[in-house]
Amino acid sequence: MTGQHPTGAGDDLRRDILTTLLPGFPGVAAPEWLLRRLRDGLGGVCLFGQNLASAEQLLALNTALRGANPLAVVAIDEEGGDVTRLFYDRGAPYPGNALLGRIDDVDLTERVARTVGEALAALGCTVTFAPDVDVNSNPDNPVIGVRSFGADPSLAARHAAAWVRGVQSTGVAASAKHFPGHGDTATDSHLALPVVDVALETLRERELVPFRAAIAAGARTIMTSHILLPRLDAEQPATLSPHIVQRLLRGELGFEGVIVTDALDMHGASGVHGIPEAAVLALAAGCDLLCIGSDNTDQQLDEIVAAVEAAVAAGRLPAERIREAATRVRGLGASAPALPASVASASLEPVHDASELARIAAAFDVTDAARERLAASDLLGTVVRVDTVANIAIGVAPWGPFAVDAAARGERWPDAAGVVAVSADAPLRDPASLPGPVLLVGKDLHRHPFAAEAIAALRAARDDVVTVDMGWPSEDRAYADIATFGASRLVGEALIALLDSTLAMPATPPAAPARTPVALDAT
């Protein structure tokens, strides 16, 4: 890589523009166009579940990417919970933020984040787009929910700081998101432009509290959100707003690190302008690193570079602004942990013993009625699996008890014939005829009318129904006899352990994993 580049015109300006871009790509190997762009100065790549096949493959991929550009940022959305990329094929072995907030042990949160960082560093990744520090003040939020540490700003703040400290102790950079706060929305910015109509004072007292804590803890990057705050900027969403990026984040909060955008292919950013113009506006607003999307092409990058060059030529975007952004991105790349020579895939995944599962289950919200219904029977008769449309951020990673190997579910869980799938297109039929007791398991049940209808039908037909919400439940818990506040594989294991300890008949425990346990409460 070159060092300081004049950015007035020509190849150096183009190189600096490329350094501000962070595309995604399909497949498990880097295409030649991407490697060429990296050699030309591309800022880096963002990895998604589609890019991972195995630990060895991911390390080889990252070695190729960083070999083409030693200062490249290799970013990934590994939040350590429902949003996972390292474990996209089998669900994450971590509790997730909402449960960490409910346990409220900042040392535990820091240790979990350090474990995430160690796995990322061992695979050659340099930045994780985590932690999510949004204060989830709206229980109808369709995109944050259990990704948040909670609805209390001070709780979210102390765990945000702990997560930043933990992951960055491994050399992997954290990215607190989604500035200035995506918690008070009922709209998914992947699909539309959410509006948060609150005053700056409300933001200061609620949304900004965990961001201040993350910055004080040394967060290397902050990710912006595609939400409109009309009392701060009535025209542009946060990512494209100089008032929010420059005055609020840089000025009032004093953040000096890399400001990265959420993906510009999301409707909240580019639904009006298109991606090239959104890139221009984001750079002009003060963003440094532009996450483009998950499935980008060489032609798209050409279009973005051309749009930025034209904006510079027209005087809409100072070349110095691009140079400033590129310098910050190169500094972030230069701080990355060294690439390891090899990786042992078995060492990447923590294994948790019974006491750790019990500690997680103790943070669930369980009604006395649920315990009584479960204790009245030896085995589960039917499990009703409620399948909702996948949150785009989470994707289709296996979740909850359904991510746990069938053999590890134990003898209390029914076989495949005893699991009934319900969705908006496949409503529940004849609930009275199902073998009981019936365990209904889903996520964010109150937000989906078909799920509420299935629960009502079951409760009207029988008295042995227990509902489990593995998302963010309604405030009145009307649809959640058990609220787990997370749906990672580890949370699924904890739910199964809870069932084993509550159902009447002693169960034969599953065989212990053939790995050394990594304790949640180890020093």
Residues of the chain with CATH 3.20.20.300: 27-342
Helix, strand, coil shares of the chain, percent, nearest 5, are 40, 10, 45
Evaluate if residue 2 carries a pLDDT over 80.
Answer: no
Using DSSP, state whether 127 is helix, strand or coil: strand
The percentage of the chain sitting over the pLDDT mark of 70, rounded to a whole number, equals 93
Catalytic residue among 5, 178, 182, 190: 190
User: Using the 8-state DSSP alphabet, how is residue 135 labeled?
Assistant: B
In this predicted model, which residue has the larger pLDDT, 303 or 196? 303
Evaluate if residue 390 carries a pLDDT over 90.
Answer: no
Chain segment 423-444, per-residue pLDDT in tens: 999 999 999 999 999 999 999 9
Average pLDDT over residues 42-64: 96
Give the separation between CA 199 and CA 230, rounded to whole angstroms. 9
Give the separation between CA 391 and CA 387, rounded to whole angstroms. 11
Chain segment 172-222, per-residue pLDDT in tens: 999 999 999 998 887 766 667 888 888 999 999 999 999 999 999 999 999
The phi-psi region of residue 241 (left if phi > 0; otherwise alpha if psi is between -120 and 50; otherwise beta) is: beta
Supply φ then ψ for residue 292, to 5 degrees: -90, -45
Identify the H or E element spanning 420.
Answer: strand 419-422
| CB 369, CB 481: distance < 8 Å | yes
Nearest to 227 by CA among 134, 329, 130, 322: 134
> What does the H/E/C string look like for 143-180?
CCHHHCCECCHHHHHHHHHHHHHHHHCCCCECEEEEEC
Tokens 């701060």 correspond to 232
pLDDT band at residue 141 using 50, 70 and 90 as cut-offs: confident
Evaluate if residue 320 carries a pLDDT over 60.
Answer: yes
Give the separation between CA 6 and CA 106, rounded to whole angstroms. 45
Catalytic residue among 12, 184, 262, 481: 262
Q: Does domain 350-502 have CATH number 3.30.310?
A: no
Q: Is 226 a catalytic residue?
A: no
Nearest to 64 by CA among 117, 16, 114, 25: 25
Using DSSP, state whether 357 is helix, strand or coil: helix
Amino acid at 385: R
Residues of the chain with CATH 3.40.50: 350-502
In this predicted model, which residue has the larger pLDDT, 184 or 27? 27
Q: Does domain 27-342 have CATH number 1.10.10.10?
A: no
Q: Is 387 a catalytic residue?
A: no
In this predicted model, which residue has the larger pLDDT, 266 or 144? 144
